[in-house]
Each structure stands twice: as structure tokens, then as C-alpha cells.
Structure 1
């Protein structure tokens, strides 16, 4: 191996230039394709961005990419912008973290002078092109573009080449209660489940619906049916909060019958309600 080549090498510069996606290159400008803008930067002079739309980077993904980088080098440059104490990542945080794990001293980078708004747009576009963002990460990023930079839904849709309806539907996920948002973020329910639950009229109904989806493993179509039924006023009553005995009996019956069981207590008599699907 030629010792004069940088540690990340292994791919010709022309191939590295092609690594930039067409959409990302268009946003950065045609000059991003010029070889002179791809330079080797010391990895310890680069820091992560406070504008990164991704909430977290999975350690397993970083470890897998680090092994690939050890074998073949960094095939696509990161994008950075100059800051007072070095460079701030704009796009490619997972590659940068993986390069650190792989022990690289330098990484290929495209250096661009970008505003906060442009940096967030570039980071969004790169992640969306790879479908790397979770639904709520997209929603929070869209909201930041609107709240911090005054960009309308129509403008966001045009810049990201999506329909305005798609942007609006994703933003609606932020109307879910925190508990339901956490279930979506953790993958316990899907985006389809979450969209269906938005059809319920109150935050409590959405929380109850999400618990039902998780408990029974409902499909999206079954969740939509449940929402329609509850919206017609057929929401199961929960046992009185002050009667733990009724709750315990209802839970035992639910486990034994593998369906929702509700005990409705009155002054003189009560009802045991079994839920089923035709």
C-alpha cells in the first residue's frame, strides 16, 4: 500500500465526487463537485452540529460502518462549515463517528460557508435521501425550519421535493401526546398507527388507543377500525381509579381471554364488557 496516501483513501477522487447525491450537490452548488473543494481535514478539528435533525446515532450502525471504513476507507466526504474553533458538521455525522471508531486521523470533507438555515436544509436533505430519519425527527426538523427561519410548508415541500400534504401529515405527528410520541420513536407503534390514532378526539383517547395497539399487536387497519368505533362513542370505560381489585380482575380476564375486558361498576350492579372483532 502506498504510504503517501491518506488513511481514508482507496477510492479515486473522481469516484468520491460522484458520492455526493444529486439533490445534495444541487443544494450545495455545482462547485461542490470540483475536486479542489474536497480536502483532508484532521478529524479532531471537526465537531458535531447542534442543528443535526437526527436525535441519536445507533451505536450498532456506527460499529458496522467503522468496519467498512477500516476495510475500504471513507467513500463519501462529509460536509462541514468553518466555525471559530475548527469545523462543524453539516452532513455525515455517522461517517465522522465511524471514522473516529476506526482510528482515522483525517477524513475527506467538502467545506462550505453556510448559514444555520442552509446547514439544516442540507442535513435534512441528506438524511431524507437515505430515508435515515424517523418520522418524528422529520416532523421536528420541519417545525424548526418554520419556527426558526419562517419557511412555509409549501416552501419546505418544494425544497425537499415532497408534496405539501406529506409535510403537513408529518407535522401532525407532533400533536400526539408525549407518551404516544415515545412509542412511535421507540418503534413500538408505526407511523401508520400514529396517523390513525390522530383521528381520536382527546389526548387521553390517543394514549389509551396506543396502549391497546401495543397490548394486542393491532395492525394499522385494525387500529383504524378501533378509532372509527371509538369515535362513534364506543370507548371502553376504564375501571374506577380507586378500585384496584376491579383493575386486577379485569387484567386477569384480559390475559385469559386474550381480549380487552372492562369492568363497569355501578351502585347496585355492574357489567363485564368483552371486546371482540367481527
Structure 2
């Protein structure tokens, strides 16, 4: 059975790995391999898996078998197979008591193995926001990829990649709250607008104490920044200016405020690190 993949997610699994047949184990057909001979991918971006979800998949495998082969590379020196994509299926197959699983063998570099593991998890929406951010960081740091390069590989836009990476700048208390599910990614993004770890941590305590939703958190952040929260009334914001602000924010990946008056105004672009400033300069000065 061929590898299933969803459209619109970067180059996809097949395009990233050449389908050559330089070794007898390689090819386009699948065959069964002992689970004991499959080595986990050391670059696997996922750090946690929900036991309930794994057990559900294991139950399905017991009844129907492994319907989609695992993608592996062959390590001739150790006569083992390095897992490229299919971590959940491998773990669930062990839970189901299988001794062997179907695999598809391809060549892959270290970078391709990381990219493929990430792409598969993004396709299945299995990574948490922080796990995705860590995987993006590894692609950037270990393989010197720009945010645009990463976006092209995983089928996201650059703004999404940049915003996801910003989650790693949160203090440990906020990252733990996000990992535990006490706050959502929307809460975390809003708190990134505060200028210090101390301010972000204090705001977190307020959110948890009063069970604030994302919109209320955004209002809290604006209040803490000294910005007056606009209330419904005769002086509603100009919808045209609001639309322009939204377009600029989507294009630049950061908060933008337009101060418009009769004789002109100003455009305020927010950034939260030297790297983000460099990215903004590059974006704004690109010919």
C-alpha cells in the first residue's frame, strides 16, 4: 500500500526522500520487518503521546492490522531499520502484541528524517504547540534553515512558523501551563505581548485565578500595557483601518497599530526580540 498523504503540506513525504534502489532493501513495495529490528528515530520531534490515543490505535491494529506502512531507512552497519515516520503506529503495534509490521524502505539524510517526522506529525495534528516549536527550532539551529525555509517544508506560512517559535521565549511557568493544558496557545500568544517574564508570570496567575478566556486575556494584556480598551459606543474603530491593521499583522507576523488622524498618523510595529527585528527589516526592505 502506498503512503497516504494530505495535500498542501510542504513537499510531502515522498518528495523529500528519493525513491532509488541503491540497496536490495530499498524500493516502492512494502514488506514485514520484526519490530525488534526497528530503531526509533533519534530526531523524533514528539516528546509525549497520550496513552488513551495509543490504546485506541492499538485496538484498531488488533482488529484490522497496520493499514499504513512505516517509513524507514536501512542501517546496513547494524542490520537495523531507522524509523523515519510512523512513531505512533510502532508504539501501538507493540501494545497490540505484534511481532512484525509493514515497512517501506527509502534513503534519507538526518535532515530529511527530522523533516519527515515533523511533517507526518503535523499532518496528523499530533504535536503540541511546544513540540512543534521545538522541532522548528531544531530545523533552524541544526540545519541553518530560515523561517521561510521551514514554512516551505512543512506547508505553513512564514508568519505561523515565526509565531510558533515565539512560544519558546515564554518563561518556564507559562510553557508548563501550556503543556499541561491549563492555558491554550491563544492565551500564550497574548502573553507574549508583555515586556518581561515577571509581567507574563503575574498575568498567568490572574488568568488561572479568574479562568479568563483568550479574549479576556488579550484585554488584560492591553490594560497592563497601558492601552485603553475600546468599549462599544459611538466611537467605534474605523473598519477600514482595522482591516489594514489585520493585513499588516498577517504579513509581518506581529502586532501592528495604526494611529490615524485628520492630518496624518503613525504605524506602530511591535517586535519582541532582536531576531524578530532583523526579520522585520528584511521583510520591509525586500525589493
- What's the TM-score once normalised by structure 2's chain length? 0.72
Change (3 A) 1:31 1:115: closer
Q: What is the aligned partner in structure 2 of residue 204 from structure 1? A: 198
- The alignment partner of 1:103 has SS state of coil
Is the aligned partner of 1:178 residue 2:163? no
Contact 2:27 2:104 (8 Å CA) reproduced: no
Partner of residue 60, structure 1: 52
What corresponds to 2:212 in structure 1? Answer: 218
1:251 maps to none
Q: Deviations over 1:155-203 (max 9, x none)?
A: 1111122111111000000110011001111111000000000011110
Residues 20 and 76, structure 1, Cα contact 8 Å, conserved in 2? no
Residue 27 of structure 1 corresponds to which residue in structure 2?
Answer: 16
Which of 85, 106, 129 matches 1:112? 106
Residue 36 (structure 1) shift: 4.2
1:95 aligns with 2:89: yes
Structure 1 position 78, deviation (Å): 0.9
Structure 2 Cα separation of the partners of residues 130 and 73 of structure 1: 19
The equivalent of 2:138 in structure 1 is 144
- In structure 2, relative to structure 1, the CA distance for the partners of 1:124 and 1:173 (3 Å cut) is same
User: Which fold has the larger relative contact order, with Cα–Cα distance below 8 Å and residues 6 or more apart in sequence?
Assistant: 2
Q: Does 1:190 align with 2:184?
A: yes
Question: Does structure 1 residue 78 correspond to structure 2 residue 70?
Answer: yes
Tell me, what secondary structure is at the counterpart of 1:37?
Answer: coil
Gap runs ≥5 in structure 1: 1-15, 235-278
User: 1:95, 1:215 → 2: CA distance?
Assistant: 39
Change (3 A) 1:99 1:181: same
Match of residue 162 from structure 2: 168
Counterpart of 2:35? 43
Deviation at 1:111, TM superposition (A): 1.3
Structure 2 unaligned blocks of 5 or more? 229-287
- Separation in 1, partners of 2:29, 2:208: 50
Instruction: Assess if the C-alpha contact under 8 Å between 1:41 and 1:107 holds in 2.
Output: yes
Deviation at 1:112, TM superposition (A): 1.7
Alpha-carbon contact 1:17-1:35 (below 8 Å) kept = no
TM-score, normalised via structure 1 length: 0.74
1:118 deviation in Å?
A: 0.4
Residues matched between the structures, number: 218
SS of the equivalent of 2:71 reads strand
Cα distance between partner residues in 2 of 1:164 and 1:132: 20
- Please identify, of 194-203 and 42-51, the stretch whose mean Cα deviation from structure 2 is larger: 42-51
Give the drift of 1:231: 1.0
Q: For residue 80 of structure 1, give the secondary structure of its aligned residue in structure 2.
A: strand
RMSD: 2.0
Taking the aligned partners of 2:151 and 2:190, their CA distance within structure 1 comes to 23
Inter-partner Cα distance in structure 2 for 1:118 and 1:58: 26
Which of these two proteins has the greater Rg computed from alpha carbons? Answer: 1
Between the aligned partners of 2:5 and 2:224, the Cα distance in structure 1 is 48
Q: Structure 1: how far apart are the matches of 2:169 and 2:159?
A: 16
